[in-house]
Amino acid sequence: MLEKFLNIFRIPDLRKRVLFTLGILAVYRLGAFIPTPGINAPLLEQMFQSQSGSALGLMDLFGGGNLRRMTIFALGIMPYITASIIFQLLTVVYEPLARIQKEGELGRRKITQWTRYVTVVLGALQSIGIAAILTKQGLVLHPGIGFSLMTVLTLTTGTAFIMWLGEQITDRGIGNGMSLLIFAGIVAGLPRGMADLVQKIQSNAWGAFTLIGILLVLAGMIAVVAFIVYVERSERRIPIQSARRIVGRRMMGGASSHLPLKVNSGGVMPVIFASSILSAPLLLAQFDWVQNNRLLQPIMRALAPGEPWYELLYMLGIIFFAYFYVSIVMKPDDIADNFRKSGSFIPGIRPGKRTSDYINDILTRITLVGALYLIIISLVSTFMISGIHLNHLWLVGRAFDALPAWMTNGLGFSFAFGGTSLLIVVGVAMDTVNQIESQLIMRHYDGFSPRSGRIRGRKTW
């Protein structure tokens, strides 16, 4: 394995990409320690400790702990993700934008440029909301218009810079830039999670059951990681037969292959998209005009993490974005058309529309399985942090008072041990390793997995 790892640095282009990616991640982590001016850091830390299971903790997860410290990168990449969701939805429902997307590289650049502009606008709006919240909560050393302008300028600039860092990784490094930035933030929070476990052991938080409980949690983490790896590697293989044809004097084709369809084609993106959309009510709930509104106040309480309505919308959002993401990356009509042009076909299925419908039916079934898998992983996070407050339901809430406390109140663990965090970390790590492995195999080096590697010729004596 060490020899295979050293092969990365023997290829000049791959070595430059890996080192460039590590350098960008180092810059990102450096910015995570530069605070926004004028913040009362100790009071801010106390507020986050008291609301660790709320939507603030969820936003802090994707921000890599930057929101907890209110650094210049406090907004993270959430504005960029929200802007990407907006444009991906518009390309489906708005025909002129769909035509621009089909223009190839030029159309993609236009949409990317507009996404950047919308990211800056969303970052500015969120910065205004954060400045108002900080001032209202008494977390500002010198409140006033100067602090508000400085906060908006600092956080918006930080968001634009993070967006640029992610694009640089995607274009000149290895892996998906935005996903790697989230990955780096979560991994940086693992020591804090380990410290939380140690503190629970020292304080004997669960009495005589503390040590056994910690061991069960660690075993559960290993089981969740194994489950994630198993599902992420799972795929549905559709057999493909190539038609025989004569090219010159040679008979070509006739070979059998398969079309691999991943069970979870969307990866971690449905979870990130759903979380991004549902984190919006958090900012709205902090404004006075929302808190004083008798109609909006109960709605905002119901949309807090751990509440049944929030969890229901979260699950529906994961299912929606799983299908939405697959509809973008996998187009059955294009696949069937490519089969027809290459003279390939699925045994027992007629070419053309029948092939497209057959692939679409399979994608529909396995995408549902992938979405349910993401929901199960997300529920692991929910029960470890806050639980689902079924006892808060109107009229029928009392019927759930008899449920175990870990189901309604959670176990109180940090995000570092949640299923969502493990899903992102494992998923992004596997995707990055696969890209590195494909680069190695393309240059005739051994990959990391046992079945990969260069094609070996016959030995000569």
For 97-126, the pLDDT digits (tens) are: 888 887 878 888 898 899 999 999 999 988
Q: Same domain, yes or no, for 333 and 388?
A: yes
Q: Which residues of 100-130 are buried (b: 16+ CB within 10 A; e: fewer)?
A: bbeeeeebeeebeebbbebbbebbbebbbbb
461 is a domain residue: no
Residue type, 321: F
- Give 142's DSSP letter: S
409 is a domain residue: yes
443 is a domain residue: no
**How far is 31 from 74, CA to CA, in rounded Å?**
10
- Cβ neighbours for 321, distance < 8 A, ≥ 6 positions apart: 266, 269, 270, 273, 274
pLDDT(133) > 50: yes
**How far is 57 from 79, CA to CA, in rounded Å?**
17
- Cβ neighbours for 241, distance < 8 A, ≥ 6 positions apart: 254, 256, 344, 345, 346, 347
**CA-closest candidate to residue 285, choices 274, 276, 277, 293:** 293
User: Tokens 């993106």 correspond to what residue?
Assistant: 269
Q: Same domain, yes or no, for 310 and 250?
A: yes
Pairing mode of beta strands 235-242, 256-262: antiparallel
- Give 11's DSSP letter: S
Domain termination residue (choose one: 208, 223, 247): 208
The angle subtended at Cα 394 by Cα 393 and Cα 396, nearest 5°, is 75
Q: Same domain, yes or no, for 183 and 149?
A: yes
**Domain around 139:** 1-208
Pairing mode of beta strands 344-345, 235-242: antiparallel
User: Tokens 């029960």 correspond to what residue?
Assistant: 383
Q: Same domain, yes or no, for 241 and 192?
A: no
pLDDT(377) > 80: yes
**CA-closest candidate to residue 75, choices 147, 128, 27:** 128
**How far is 89 from 49, CA to CA, in rounded Å?**
36
Quickly state the pLDDT bin for 316 (edges 50, 70, 90). very high
335 is a domain residue: yes
Q: Same domain, yes or no, for 19 and 85?
A: yes
Report whether 32 contacts 65 (CB < 8 A). Answer: yes
Which is higher by pLDDT, 303 or 24? 24
Which is higher by pLDDT, 137 or 362? 362
- Give 459's DSSP letter: -
Q: How many CB atoms lie within 10 A of CB 69?
A: 21
- Cβ neighbours for 423, distance < 8 A, ≥ 6 positions apart: 228, 268, 271, 374, 377, 378
The length of the chain, given as a count of residues = 461
Q: Same domain, yes or no, for 315 and 354?
A: yes
Q: Same domain, yes or no, for 9 and 77?
A: yes
For residue 114, CA distances in Å to 78, 111, 157, 280, 383 come to: 16, 5, 17, 21, 39
Which is higher by pLDDT, 41 or 119? 119
pLDDT(13) > 80: yes
Question: Considering its fold, how many domains does the chain have in total?
Answer: 2
**CA-closest candidate to residue 229, choices 26, 32, 431:** 431
**pLDDT, averaged across the chain:** 81
Q: Same domain, yes or no, for 389 and 245?
A: yes
User: Mean per-residue pLDDT for 181-199?
Assistant: 80
pLDDT(296) > 90: no
pLDDT(398) > 50: yes
Quickly state the pLDDT bin for 360 (edges 50, 70, 90). very high
Q: Same domain, yes or no, for 155 and 247?
A: no
User: Is residue 443 classed as helix, strand or coil in its secondary structure?
Assistant: coil
Q: Same domain, yes or no, for 141 and 265?
A: no
Domain termination residue (choose one: 148, 174, 208): 208
420 is a domain residue: no
70 is a domain residue: yes
Q: Same domain, yes or no, for 256 and 140?
A: no
Q: Which two tokens stand for residue 310?
A: 């929030």
Chain centroid to CA 227: how far? Answer: 17
User: Tokens 């209110």 correspond to what residue?
Assistant: 70
**How far is 120 from 146, CA to CA, in rounded Å?**
20
444 is a domain residue: no
Please list the residues that pair with 238 across neighbouring strands: 259
Q: Same domain, yes or no, for 239 and 194?
A: no
437 is a domain residue: no
User: Mean per-residue pLDDT for 313-329?
Assistant: 89
Whole-number pLDDT of residue 64: 64
**How far is 28 from 23, CA to CA, in rounded Å?**
9
User: Mean per-residue pLDDT for 308-325?
Assistant: 90
User: What count of Cα atoms within 13 Å lies in the side-chain half-sphere of residue 19?
Assistant: 9
User: CATH number of the domain that 27 lies in?
Assistant: 1.10.3370.10
Chain centroid to CA 7: how far? Answer: 29
